[in-house]
Amino acid sequence: MKKMMIGAEVFIEPGQTPEEIDLWFKRLKECGMTITRIRMFENYMHQPDGSWNFELFDTAFKAGEKYGVKIFANLFPSTEFTDVGGFKFPKSEENLQQISDYIRHLVNHFKDFSSLYGWVPINEPGSGELPDDDFSRTAMAEWRKSEITNEYNSQGFNTLDFSKERFLLHHNTWFLSWLTDQIHLHHPNSIIHVNNHAIFQHVAEYDFPKWRNFLTSLGGSAHVSWHFGYFSRQQYAVAMSANAEILRSGAGDIPWLMTELQGGNNTYSSFAPMCPTKEEIAQWLWITIGVGSEGSIFWCLNPRRSGFEAGEWAMLDYQDHPSDRMLAAAAVINTINEHTALFEQSTVLDAGIHILYSRESLWIEKALQIKGTMYEGREQGGCMKSALAWFEALTELGVHASFKEIGEFDFSKDNYETQTIVLAHQISLPSKYWDRLKSFVKLGGKLIAEGLTAYYDENAYTLMGRGFPFRDLFGAAVKEFKVVKNLFAIKLNTPETELPAHLWRGTLELESATAAGYFKGEEDAEAEVIASRNIYGKGEVFWLPSLIGLGSGISGNYTQLTKLIREELKISLYHQPLLFAKHQPHMVMKTLVISNGYLTIIVNKSGSVKNIVLKTNVLLHPELLFANRSGKLSSAKDILIHAEETMVIKWINH
């Protein structure tokens, strides 16, 4: 059972007074916040003469005890003052021993404080690339000696080398595990938590299933100003939802929470300066809860006073009073406290619809980048944006789809009826998943593949051609991909739809599949197949080798894509307890299961007041738990929701 925890990070630095620190913890308590995180700066503890002075941080831990606020202690070994994010890897054996020594002093001093909740061994793992230093090079050389050689070798062709990417995946896991072992040497069985960041860019570095072996819980950072560059501000709610879904999948059976949520204004730092509104604070907080989190911690409570980020990001104003953002968070906390058991016992609805991505797609896409005329589909991020477009389209139907790396999907079941996998422009499908995908469909699953999905194997060897390994599963093979233009139309005859597509048009040679759409160019040209469907075992594959997800996203209109989804996923959609009765652009709905019904969290990003009608397949009685802009239930299924409003509704079975 979840234990709901919401808080904000207290930033501790020299020059602060005990009175200030005490007041900040008092503010947390006054707003109902029960958890915080503190960066445990070695530079502020380890003295030039080699001695240790913990007094400044002792003051914070004592304040935590006084006000009943638990603390995640975030390791922050010695680094340059301008290093905002902190260390990612040791630079040398000497540095590794220095980190070990720091952990020994830190953990042994703070482990007995009753306010200590757990340890965060590293802030925001994920570097984007392998460090160029002797330690990493030596570690990679040792790793190469033990790496298992894959029997599959891309038919013996010469291929690109992705050993650095595979090693970085391993290296992140090794270092997190090493740090955990060091902590547990001095504080056995203590709670270990970690927050990855820039999830849409760095996710290929994270081997979440292996992390579960040593983590107590998984977390993440979701600073819209730093991390949501693929999205417009209007899309930040759906971006938060996708971010949260990736974390939920990564966590598996262990809990997860959003370790850092942007809480305040950023003036000079970050890529996109902005200040969250109080409505956005409520949206993000409720969305993470709707994706099954144990809560969230805002970055941060009080602003740091000097250096990069000075005066930024805070939930308190400069006079140490709660901002409207903090009061908005307090209103969410009050609602949760009024219904604690309801939220702690809730689970995320399994909609049976899964957006899958492969880290190899992201690796290959990055490796193939060159300067020149660029389109979103072939730029770095095209594969992720394509998957996100399908996720957003499903969200606008009210579907609570999952979003996960293909290796996190459970391929071990013996029945996949009512289950759907979407592979949106996943250019690499590694060989170890070929038979698993075939088994999924054979056992009743629905597979939707679009864009250049399966163009490569894991080594950037193209699978297109006579030896296409999915020829029997897809019932067809690609004839060609032709560049068209940024946006063009794809017409389908089953269902009858005209979809915006991006950049490439793929044409198919059918075998067992039947045509679902044609393209006819010149008047005297023969019509070519551009979409197909194939029955395989008990399941079905729908294949459209053009970028309709990204095309819809670029066009800013998911109307036609949602029409296609309603037709192709009608079996899965039929089993959903709650959906929007019609397509609702820029609306988000997350669904939780409770003992006698459901909880829905609905966010209106449309820019106007909406009257929403929900479609249910069971008789449900609604009760409004939260609305921050006077939204109301007009009837048993009709909802009036204002622009930027978040509503939380409990639905009880009659």
Best CA proximity match to 96, nearest among 187, 43, 174: 174
Q: At CB < 8 A and 24+ separation, what contacts does 626-632 make?
A: 626/286, 626/331, 626/332, 626/335, 628/278, 628/279, 628/282, 628/328, 628/331, 629/279
Helix axes 134-146, 93-110, angle to 10 degrees: 90
Contact status, residue 479 vs residue 508, Cβ threshold 8 Å: yes
Domain 353-574, what fold?
Rossmann fold (3.40.50)
Q: Tokens standing for 20?
A: 């200030």
Give residue 194's pLDDT. 98
How far is C-alpha 207 from the geometric centre of its chain's CA atoms? 14
Mean pLDDT of 220-244: 97
Query: Given a cut of 90, is residue 31 above it in pLDDT?
Result: yes
Query: Given a cut of 90, is residue 446 above it in pLDDT?
Result: yes
Q: What is the DSSP letter of 337?
A: H
Q: What is d(CA 329, CA 312) in angstroms, rounded to the nearest whole number?
A: 18
- Number of C-beta neighbours around residue 521 at 10 A: 11
The percent of the chain in helix, strand and coil, each rounded to the nearest 5, is: 35, 25, 40
List the beta strands (DSSP E) in 121-182: none
Q: What is d(CA 380, CA 365) in angstroms, rounded to the nearest whole number?
A: 6
Split at pLDDT 50, 70, 90, the class of 491 is: very high
Q: What is the CATH number of domain 578-653?
A: 2.60.40.1180
Q: What is d(CA 179, CA 171) in angstroms, rounded to the nearest whole number?
A: 12
Q: Give the predicted TM-score (pTM) of the model.
A: 0.97
Mean pLDDT of 4-30: 98
Best CA proximity match to 4, nearest among 324, 329, 400: 329
Contact status, residue 10 vs residue 25, Cβ threshold 8 Å: yes
Q: What is d(CA 321, CA 219) in angstroms, rounded to the nearest whole number?
A: 28
Give the list of residues 6+ apart from residue 318 with CB closer than 8 angstroms, or none.
Answer: 303, 311
Q: What is d(CA 495, CA 567) in angstroms, rounded to the nearest whole number?
A: 7
Residue identified by tokens 């949206």 is: 283
**High-pLDDT (> 90) share of the chain, %:** 90
Give residue 496's pLDDT. 86
How far is C-alpha 633 from the geometric centre of its chain's CA atoms? 31
Q: What is d(CA 234, CA 236) in angstroms, rounded to the nearest whole number?
A: 6
Split at pLDDT 50, 70, 90, the class of 309 is: very high
Best CA proximity match to 257, nearest among 281, 285, 226, 223: 285
Best CA proximity match to 338, nearest among 119, 648, 67, 131: 648
Mean pLDDT of 231-242: 98
**Arithmetic mean of pLDDT over the chain:** 96
| Cα angle 301, 180, 60; round to 5 | 30
* Domain ranges across the chain: 5-146+161-346, 353-574, 578-653
Domain 5-146+161-346, what fold?
TIM Barrel (3.20.20)
496-545 per-position pLDDT tens digit: 889 999 999 999 999 999 999 999 887 777 899 999 999 999 999 999 99
Give residue 139's pLDDT. 94
Q: What is d(CA 581, CA 483) in angstroms, rounded to the nearest whole number?
A: 37
